[in-house]
Amino acid sequence: MKKRTISAVLSILMILTLLIGCGGKTAAPSPSAGQPASGGEKIIRISQSPGGKIDPGIITDYTSCVAAVNMYDSLVYPDLDNKIAPSVAKEWKVSPDGLEWTFTLNKGIKFHDGSELHASDVVFSANRLMTIGEGFAYLFKDYLAKTEAVDDYTVKFTLSKAFAPFLSILPRLYILNEDLVKSHQGQGSYGEFGDYGKAYLAENDAGSGAYTCSEMKVQDKIVLKKFKDYFGTFEANAPDSVEIIMNTEPATIRTMMANQQLDISDQWQTDEAYSALDGINGVNLGSYSNGSVFYLMLNTKKAPTDDVHIRRALAYLIDYAQVTKSLFPGYVKADSVVPKGVLGYTDEYTYDFNLEKAKEELKQSKYANSLASSAVEVDWIADVPDEEKLALLIQATAQQIGLKVNVVKVPWATHVDNVARIESTANATTTFVSSDYSEAGAMLYQRFHSDTAATWQQTEWLKDPAVDGKIKSALTTTDETARVAIYKELQKEAYDNCWGIPVAEQAEKHAYYDYIKFPAMERAAAGKPVAMAMGYNFLFRTFAVNK
Amino acid sequence: MDAGGSRIVHTSFFYRSQEIPHKKSGLSMNFKKFILNRLLLSIVVIFGLSIVIFCIARIVPGDPARMALGATATEHALETFRAENHLKEPLPMQYVYWIKGVLTGDFGISTMTKRPVIQDMMEFLPATLEVVILAAVFLVLGSIFLGRLAAKHKDSVLDAAVRVFSYAGVAIPGFVLAVLLLLLFGYVWPIIPVLGRLSHGIAAPPGITGMYTLDSLLSGNFSTFGDAFLHILTPALALCAGGMFQEARLVRNAMTENMGKDYLAAMEGYGVPKRLIMNKYLFKPSLIPAVSCMGMDIAALMSNAFLIEVIFGWPGISKYGMNAMLAKDLNAISGVILIFGTIFVVINIIVDIIVAYLDPRIRLGGGKQ
């Protein structure tokens, strides 16, 4: 009896300690509990997803782009209005046939080792990117035929065919220090270039950007230090150093922010985690549309979604208001297959939630009399748990109009394998797609050109030569007005044929301390657009640490 | 009297137990053979493990080249990758290429970090070993101490507390405990640091072993040692707590069961000091069941450390291995699992030797009980 009483008391004590630890309002500890930088150094610590790399020739992920845009410069870069602004290049001209692009470089731009940036470095960087064939090489591979240095400060690109958005993709050609990379070549399969400096650049930078890489701890953190000889300008109180911490574990992020060991959170936290972060004294929560569109992709070659009426019915039965209000707070409804604000965007062709229209479409479908045996399989990606919410919403609403929907959870690696074949590609898949550059042509190409069929970017399996031709025609039309007109035609076609359903545009959320000047958030709060290209909302030389 | 080929001789006043085996003191020939057999079998086990993990890593769905280089990599880049990694060769040939490299310390390049896998492992393995070793020390010492305390004060508050905590240890997953400790010490009661390996502004000690606590001691930097030790406390506690309380319960149960044995009553009757009975004749045989479990738990600490490392921001090999699996980084997966398997085998051998030391029947019987 005594033993039982003692055990019961101890058990209750343990449960009480658990409950005490789990609840309660969050109070920020005193500022001294944080870890201020030594000697008055201004520092920004930001969390990002693991896997960040610093070799600009192989990167495509968000974390790596945030690091790269600060360590390296390009000839041009996208400003927060998504307009292309000069950077290393001060001016440029294009030949009338659109095949030759000539850039004049600014003089006196220094690499981090003190040597000057010349046109030959641009040539080396372009050739390196194209030869390795990874990272952002895919943007250039169909168009860039030759890169040459006309003189020390003039570089000329010759294209194999006209590509009107060429300027928009140039921000992804990061300029490396040719001499530094060549002096650190290791053994590899790139002929005279060995490994093209891949081993060296995995842990060192060879750039001219506003920040140098002072520490690269793989899968842990990237530490950047201000480059005092940077050719551009720094905001007053811009950070002297930046730590990109590769960890998105919610409990860890919350603890770090509460202890002022983290200044800006990543964008991968759950809504519950953001609420908790918002509750910390001094922490704000903001969001902006980053150009990433959340699609319900539709397989147009597999029954029953091979019928346009079934596809349209699905488009009409999604409750978009509920998606943006309850399922994904902060997201905005997508009104086109391309993100808002890019050149060529139009909101004229959009589906709304309308069950009556959904029913009418079903009646016109060739499967109208066999709906019970014509189930639509909706796959959602297991690595993004929130996607299940949309799948279940569709299933519940479809049931109301007699359409059967099966919801299937699929790990990303399996999904990538499934979409390589028509028969194993699901009828519908929930996926986020980001635009490669700030023109409608980017998303139209990524989503509907035959080149991307059998990849995760397109499960529609369109493989339509007419569509391919139209997309290519738009991309090679140098006259902007004519190009925009073709973009709009394609958006109408996508709408009429319901090539996939754009559901919402992602809101990229960050929790950040109020002493941080965060330009993109300030613009978003004022209703202005922000940069769509990954990483360019984090040019830390434009940030400020006001404490 | 004879007991299995030995004689027990004792004096009337001062108890002196002297077991006289047939051979001189030291390991018996049979036992040496037993250890040698175990070592040889372990090599076979590791070899078999390498084949299994190699095959599994390569037959799961997904194109390794696509997974490594991304969906947008050019065909030329994919072909270069496939040629460099012999992906077009038959599986047995791929294994031969790989094992040849492994035997010379070359595990290939990690597609995740773009560095040699051996370099990644040399960087991350010491961090995990540091936590695991401290967790193992806590587990062994803590379970022995708590188990003995509970046995000595049987049916008291202490005994009940150990029982309740052992149930909690089974019920609460390690990562839940890790989050609770993180919130407790990082948030509610920030008396010790909880994130990372060192505080901001403190330089890492010279890289002798890669373990910051050991390296700072070896280099005489005691303030760094103190900081590193405080950082490692909570991850180690989170890792070992469950196993520690479970093993404490095992020790307690074994000791209380053996307490009623006749031989102990006889020793007490002969006037053997109670402390000697407790520490040697009761404790040693009671430890045997717990030691086997400790061995398994300690071996499992390496793989269980993954979530602990993520939560505490600890740059260890378990987190690296899990990220490698998610990224389908074949070289890293194979390397990490081979290392884990080898450590598991080594720990099992050590446990067998310890058990043999504790149980003379095994030592004298050549490993047979």
Cα–chain center distance at B20? 35
Task: Pick one of 3.20.20.10, 2.60.40.10, 2.60.40.640, 3.90.76.10 as the CATH number of A73-201.
Answer: 3.90.76.10
Query: Which residues 302-321 of chain B have a CB within 8 Å of chain A?
Result: 310-313, 315, 319-320
Q: Does pLDDT of B16 surpass 60?
A: no
Using only the alpha carbons of chain B, give its radius of gyration: 25
Residue A110 burial by Cβ neighbours in a 10 Å radius (0-12, 13-18, 19+):
middle
Q: Quick check: B237 and B284 in contact, CB under 8 A?
A: no
pLDDT at position B21 is 42
Question: pLDDT category, B344, cuts 50, 70, 90?
Answer: confident
Per CATH, is A39-69+212-225+233-282+514-547 categorized as 2.40.50.140? no
User: Which residue stretches of B260-365 are H helix?
Assistant: 262-270, 274-276, 283-311, 317-326, 330-358, 360-364
Q: Does B72 touch chain A (CB under 8 A)?
A: yes
Query: Token digits for B142?
Result: 């803590």
Q: Quick check: A482 and A474 in contact, CB under 8 A?
A: no
Residues facing A159 on adjacent strands: A144
Q: DSSP assignment, residue A453?
A: B
User: Which residue stretches of A25-140 are H helix?
Assistant: 62-71, 119-132, 137-140
Contact A416 B71 (CB under 8 A): yes
User: What does the domain layout of chain B look like in residue ranges?
Assistant: 116-326
Query: Which residues 181-240 of chain B have a CB within 8 Å of chain A?
Result: 182-184, 186-188, 190, 194-195, 199-201
pLDDT at position B272 is 84
Separation between Cα atoms, residue A430 and residue B129, nearest integer Å = 41
Separation between Cα atoms, residue A337 and residue B187, nearest integer Å = 44
Query: Could you tell me how many helices (H) and strands (E) chain B has, helices first?
Result: 15, 3
Q: Quick check: A393 and A430 in contact, CB under 8 A?
A: no
> What's the pTM?
0.81
Query: Which residues 96-125 of chain B have a CB within 8 Å of chain A?
Result: 112-115, 120, 123-124
Q: State residue B99 phi and psi, 5-degree precision.
A: -70, -30
Question: pLDDT category, B362, cuts 50, 70, 90?
Answer: low
pLDDT at position B8 is 40
* Closest chain B residue by Cα to residue A458: B71
Of B60, B69, B115, the CB nearest to A134: B69
Interface test with B, best of A47, A172, A252, A253 (most B CBs within 10 A): A252
Q: State residue A425 phi and psi, 5-degree precision.
A: -80, 130
Q: State residue A118 phi and psi, 5-degree precision.
A: -125, 170
- Name which of B29, B32, B57 is nearest B332 in CA terms: B57
pLDDT at position A13 is 64
The mean pLDDT value for B34-39 works out to 82
Question: pLDDT category, A435, cuts 50, 70, 90?
Answer: confident
CB pairs under 8 A between A and B: 135
Residue B172 burial by Cβ neighbours in a 10 Å radius (0-12, 13-18, 19+):
middle
CB atoms within 10 A of CB A13: 12
Interface test with A, best of B180, B187, B323 (most A CBs within 10 A): B187
Strands (E) in A182-265, as ranges, are 211-217, 221-226, 241-246
Question: pLDDT category, A234, cuts 50, 70, 90?
Answer: very high
Contact A258 B327 (CB under 8 A): no
Q: Is A226 helix (H, G, I), strand (E, B) or coil?
A: strand
The helix (run of H) or strand (run of E) holding residue A86 is strand A84-86
pLDDT digits (tens, 9 = 90+) for A237-283: 999 999 999 988 888 899 899 989 999 999 988 888 999 999 999 99
* Closest chain A residue by Cα to residue B154: A3
Of B72, B160, B200, the CB nearest to A60: B72
* Closest chain B residue by Cα to residue A29: B187
Percent of chain A with pLDDT over 90: 75
Q: State residue A214 phi and psi, 5-degree precision.
A: -95, -20
Distance to chain B for A193, nearest Cα, Å: 15
Separation between Cα atoms, residue A526 and residue B82, nearest integer Å = 50
Its CATH architecture, for the domain B116-326, is Orthogonal Bundle (1.10)
Q: Quick check: B183 and B260 in contact, CB under 8 A?
A: no
Q: Is B178 helix (H, G, I), strand (E, B) or coil?
A: helix
The mean pLDDT value for A143-164 works out to 96
Q: Quick check: B212 and B199 in contact, CB under 8 A?
A: no
Query: Which residues 398-427 of chain A have a CB within 8 Å of chain B?
Result: 413-414, 416-417, 420
Distance to chain B for A4, nearest Cα, Å: 8
Q: Does pLDDT of B298 surpass 50?
A: yes
pLDDT digits (tens, 9 = 90+) for A125-145: 999 999 999 999 999 998 999
Query: Which residues 71-90 of chain A have a CB within 8 Å of chain B?
Result: none
Q: Does pLDDT of B109 surpass 60?
A: yes
CB-CB neighbors (< 8 A) of B200 in chain A: 35, 37, 261
Of A10, A33, A203, the CB nearest to B161: A10
Question: pLDDT category, A18, cuts 50, 70, 90?
Answer: low
pLDDT at position A472 is 92
pLDDT at position B291 is 83
Question: pLDDT category, A33, cuts 50, 70, 90?
Answer: very low
Question: pLDDT category, A37, cuts 50, 70, 90?
Answer: very low
User: What does the domain layout of chain A look like in residue ranges?
Assistant: 39-69+212-225+233-282+514-547, 73-201, 290-506
Residue B292 burial by Cβ neighbours in a 10 Å radius (0-12, 13-18, 19+):
middle
pLDDT at position B23 is 44
Just give the CATH number of A290-506: 3.10.105.10
Contact B310 A252 (CB under 8 A): yes
Q: Does A189 touch chain B (CB under 8 A)?
A: yes
pLDDT digits (tens, 9 = 90+) for A66-87: 999 999 999 999 998 888 999 9
pLDDT at position B10 is 40
Average confidence score pLDDT of chain A: 91
For the ranges A516-525, B50-59, B175-184, B203-212, which has the lowest average pLDDT?
B50-59
Beta strands A241-246 and A43-48 are parallel
Contact B312 A252 (CB under 8 A): yes
Percent of chain B with pLDDT over 90: 18
Beta strands A154-159 and A211-217 are unpaired
pLDDT at position A245 is 94
Q: Does pLDDT of A2 surpass 80?
A: no
